[in-house]
Chains A and B, each alone.
Chain A
Amino acid sequence: MKTFDSHAARGEKLGRARGRLLPLLTLAVAVAVWGALSALRVFPESAFPSPLSVARGFVEELSAGRLLTDLVASLFRVTTGFVLAVVLGLPAGLWLGHSARARAALLPAVNFFRSLSPLAWIPFAILWFGIGDLPSIFLIFMASFFPIVLATVAAVAGIPAVYFRVAGDYGFRGAELLTQVTLPAIAPQVITALRVTAGVAWLVVVAAEMIAGRDGLGFAVWDARNGLRMDLLVAGMVVIGSIGVVIDRLLVRLMRIPSVRWGYER
C-alpha cells in the first residue's frame, strides 16, 4: 500500500512538472519550425515573416503605445458586451427554465438568433451605432447572450426534482429556493457555458473591430494587412491568441471553487 501511495505521489509530482514544461516545449518546437521555414524561404519574407521580424514588430508596436491602446480597447469591448450578456442572459435563462409557457413562446426565437452568426449583424451594427466601441459591444452581446440563455435553460431543466422536494422539507421558500437551490445547482453547467461563450466573444471582437473599429486588436491586424506589414499582423495574432488563452485560464479558476467541483468530478 505504501509503495503504491508513494508511486502515485511521485507520478503526480512528475505529472505536474511535465504539465508546466510540455506546453513550453511545444512552443519552442513551433517557433523553431517557424524559424526554419522562414529561413528556407519556402514563402517570401513579405508573405511569411520570420520570428525575429515579428518580435521586432511587437517591440515597435509596444513602445509606440499602440499595442496597449488596442489591447485595452478590445478588452473593454469584450468585457462590457460579455458582462451585459451574462447579466441579462442568466435571468432570462432562469425565467425560461422555470416557465414552460415562456419556453414554448420564446425558445424557438432564441435558437434562431443563436444560429445566426453575429458577424451577419455587422452592417446593422455600423448603421445603428456607427464606428467605435458600441458596434463591437453590440456584436459581442449578440454572440454571447443567446448561448448563455440556452445553457441556463438547459441547466435549470436538468435540476433533479429531488432537490426541490428536499428544499421544501427543510423550509426553503421563495427567493431562498433561487439562491440556495437553483443557482448552486446550475452553477457548474453555467460556468462551462461562460467559458465557451467568452471564447466566442473574443473571436467576435476581433472580427468586429476589423470592420467597425478605429482601434482594437482586430483593427490593428486589419491595419497591418492594409499596410502590408505582415510582421505586425502576426504580432497582433500572437497577442490575440495569448489573450484568449489568458481569458480561458481565468474562467477555469471558477471551476475550482469547492462548491461547484461536484459538477465536474462525478
Chain B
Amino acid sequence: MRGSVLRLEDVRCAFGEVEVFRGLSLEIGRGEFVAVVGPSGCGKTTLLNLCSGFVEPTGGHVERQGRIRTVYQQDGLFPWLTVAENVRLGLREVKREAEREKRLAELLSLIRMENFAGHYPHQLSGGMRQRAELARALAGDTDVLLLDEPFSSLDYLTRLRLRNELARMLSELPRTVVLVTHDIEEAAQLADRVVVLSDRPAAVISQHVMRLPRPRDPVHPEVVEAVHLILAELGLRQDRAGVTKAGASSN
C-alpha cells in the first residue's frame, strides 16, 4: 500500500445508547478505491462521516490527509446555481480566472454536459445531476472522494451507466475513493477492495481485493464471484444460508 490517506484505528463510535462501531480499524491507501457494503443501518454513512470529520469518534482515532469531499445520495447540488456554477464551486481555490474557466470546460466535457452548463439542477435528470455532482467533487485538487450511495436514487440502467462514467472519470482524474453502497454488484464492479461490514456494532467481516482492471463488466465472472461471496457472508444466499456468522439478523 502506497501510504494511507485515511486511517481508522480501533474506532469506537456511539450515539447515546446505540453503539455503531466497536474497535473498528481500516486503512485506505493513496489512490485506492474502497467500497464499503453491509446490512442497512450498520453504520456505513457514519463511517463516511468519520472519514470526512463530520463525526468524531467516541474512542480510538481517525487520521485524515488532504482535501476530502463528499458526494451525497441526491440533491447535493445547489438548486439556485447552474451546472457550471455548481462545478465552479469545486474550483474555488483556483485563483486565476482563466485557469479556472479552462478547468471548468474540461470537467464539463469529462461528464459530457457542455451543452447543459447553463441548466439548473431541477431541469436535469437524476443521472445528470449526479454526474454534475461528481464533477464538482472531482474538481480542483481533491485528494479523497467520499461517495455516500451516490447512485442509489437512480434506476438500474442509469446506475450501470454512471458506474462506467465514474470509472472513466477516475481514470482521467485519479483519486482516493471511499464508496459506501448497499449495492454489492456496484461495489464489486468498481472497487479495488470491498470491505464487508457486519450488523451493529459493525465490524469488518471480510475484505475482497479485486484485481480486474476497470471498467469491469457487471457480469464478468470475477465480479459475479465476488458478489456471490459477499452475499453469502451477509447471509443472503438462499442456497448457502448460514455460511458465516454474519448477517443472521439482516434481511
Binding site for B on A (CB under 8 A): 160, 162-163, 165-166, 169-171, 181, 184-185, 187, 258-263, 265-266
Chain B: which residue is nearest A166 at the CB level? B76
Does B38 sit at the interface, judged by CB under 8 A?
no
CB within 8 Å: A-B pair count = 47
Please classify the interface of chain B as helix (H, G, I), strand (E, B), loop, or mixed, using the class held by over half of its residues.
Answer: loop
Q: Does B79 contact A (CB under 8 A)?
A: yes
Identify which of B69, B75, B80 gathers the most chain A CB atoms within 10 Å of its CB.
B80
Q: Which residues of A contact B81 (CB under 8 A)?
A: 184, 259
The 6 closest A-B pairs by CB, nearest first: A262-B79, A184-B80, A259-B80, A262-B122, A266-B122, A170-B89
* Given A170-B90, A262-B120, A262-B121, 16 more pairs with CB closer than 8 A: A162-B72, A162-B75, A162-B76, A165-B54, A165-B72, A169-B70, A169-B137, A170-B69, A170-B92, A171-B93, A181-B78, A184-B78, A185-B80, A187-B80, A260-B80, A262-B79
Task: Determine the interface band of chain B, counting residues with CB < 8 A from chain A.
Answer: 20 to 34
Task: Please name the residue on chain A nearest to B78 by beta carbon.
Answer: A163
**Minimal beta-carbon separation of A159 from chain B (angstroms):** 11
**Which residues in window 21-73 of B have CB below 8 A to A?**
52, 54, 68-70, 72
Instruction: Give chain A residues whose Cβ lies under 8 Å from the Cβ of B122.
Output: 261-262, 265-266
CA distance A184 to B120 in the complex (A): 13
Instruction: Collect the chain A residues with CB atoms within 8 Å of residue B72's CB.
Output: 162, 165-166
Q: Which residues of B contact A (CB under 8 A)?
A: 52, 54, 68-70, 72, 75-76, 78-81, 89-90, 92-93, 120-122, 136-137
**B69 is contacted by which of A169, A185, A258, A259 (Cβ under 8 Å)?**
A169
- In whole angstroms, how far apart are the Cα atoms of A265 and B79 in the complex? 11
- 30 A/B residue pairs, CB under 8 Å, sorted by A: A160-B75, A162-B72, A162-B75, A163-B78, A165-B72, A166-B70, A166-B76, A166-B78, A169-B52, A169-B68, A169-B69, A169-B70, A170-B89, A170-B136, A171-B93, A184-B78, A184-B80, A184-B81, A185-B80, A187-B80, A258-B120, A259-B80, A259-B81, A259-B120, A260-B80, A262-B79, A262-B120, A262-B121, A262-B122, A263-B79
Nearest-Cβ distance from residue B192 to partner chain A, whole angstroms: 24
Residues of A within 8 A of B121 (CB): 262
A7–B132 alpha-carbon span in the complex (Å): 33
Question: For residue B69, which residue of chain A has the nearest CB?
Answer: A169
Would you call the interface of chain A mostly helix, strand, loop, or mixed? helix
The reply to whether B78 and A261 form a contact with Cβ atoms under 8 Å apart is: no
CA distance A147 to B81 in the complex (A): 28
Most buried by A among B89, B93, B137: B89
CB of B88 to closest CB in A, whole Å: 10
A261: B residues at CB distance < 8 A:
120, 122
A residues less than 8 Å from B90 (CB atoms):
170
- Separation of A215 and B122 alpha carbons in the complex (Å): 48
A-side contacts of B54, CB under 8 Å: 165
Q: Which residues of A lie under 8 Å from residue B136 when comparing CB positions?
A: 170
Give, as a whole number of angstroms, the nearest-CB distance from B130 to chain A. Answer: 14
Determine the residue in chain B with the shortest Cβ distance to A260. B80
CA distance in complex: A261, B75 (Å): 16
B76, B90, B137 interface centre (most CB from chain A within 10 Å): B76
Distance between Cα atoms of A260 and B93 in the complex (Å) = 26
Q: Closest CB of chain A to B91's CB: distance in Å?
A: 10
Chain B residues with CB under 8 A of A187:
80
A residues less than 8 Å from B52 (CB atoms)? 169
In angstroms, how far is the closest chain A Cβ from the Cβ of B77? 8
A164 CB to nearest chain B CB (Å)? 11
> Which B residue's beta carbon lies closest to that of A163?
B78
Chain A residue at minimal CB-CB distance from B54:
A165
CB distance from B18 to the nearest CB of A (A): 20
A263 to B136, alpha carbons, bound, how many Å? 22
Chain B residues contacting A163 (CB-CB under 8 Å) are 78
Contacts of A166 in B (CB 8 A): 70, 72, 76, 78
Closest to A171 in B: B92
Other-chain residue from B68, B69, B80, B89 in contact with A262 (beta carbon distance below 8 A): B80
Instruction: For residue B68, give the distance in angstroms from its CB to the closest CB of chain A.
Output: 8
Bound-state Cα–Cα, A162 to B79, Å:
12
- Alpha-carbon distance between A162 and B45 when the two chains are bound, in angstroms: 13
Question: In the complex, which residue of chain A has the Cβ closest to the Cβ of B73?
Answer: A162
